[in-house]
Amino acid sequence: MNVQRSLVLIKPDGLQRDLLGEVIGRFERKGLKIVGLKLIRLTESMLDEHYAHLADKPFFASIKEFMMQTPVVGIVFEGIDAIEAIRKLIGSTNPRQADAGTIRADLAMNVPSNLVHASDSVENATVEVKRFFKDEELFQYEKITDRYVFGEGV
Ligand code: IDP
Ligand code: MG
């Protein structure tokens, strides 16, 4: 059973548009377990690391400014193959091209404010969880629904 942890950030547009519950609810209903959850005030140095792969893009400064407009909600989810499952739930980067039924397709209309960030690989998930959460902010616990959600692990 390939249990993974993945980092999700709900961006300032999610907070401003009162979509925190809607977004978190979609992950909850899927069966992803919340093992860390908090508001985070992002700093420029955190964003320089987090968006390092975009440093040479013309929109780099504006995306960092956008991400600092309000606190973001940071969540660490746990589940079988959670990284890929979450990327499927959020949809592709451009909300207008994302598959219907995904968070970005259903709730957003433009690329910078596409509501959520989610880790895209095992390597990035490990680094990103560590970037935003201390060990003591992450929890391990049993839920009575685990047997239904995890089943035999397939
Ligand atoms: P992802 O969030 O789907 O993984 P990335 O390519 O990692 O997409 O880009 C990170 C974030 O940067 C996107 O979610 C989006 O908010 C922003 N972004 C990506 N491309 C553009 C662009 O062309 N213009 C403005 N913002 C962009
Ligand atoms: Mg990305």
Strand order across the beta sheet in which 116-118 lies = 33-40, 72-80, 3-10, 116-118
Annotated binding site: 11, 59, 87, 93, 104, 114
User: Residue ranges of the alpha helices (H) in the chain?
Assistant: 12-16, 20-30, 44-50, 60-67, 82-90, 103-107, 122-132, 146-150
Q: Whose CA is nearest to atom 20 of ligand 1?
A: 111
> pLDDT tens digit string along 97-125?
999 999 999 999 999 999 999 999 999 99
Structural domain that includes position 93: 3-150
Ligand number nearest to the C-alpha of 124: 2
| 154 has pLDDT over 90 | no
Q: Whose CA is nearest to atom 12 of ligand 1?
A: 112
Structure tokens at 140: 């391990």
CATH number of the domain that residue 55 is part of: 3.30.70.141
Ligand number nearest to the C-alpha of 51: 1
> pLDDT tens digit string along 64-77?
999 999 999 999 99
Q: How many domains does the chain have?
A: 1
Average pLDDT over residues 9-29: 98
| 133 has pLDDT over 90 | yes
Per the annotation, the verdict on 117 as an active-site residue is yes
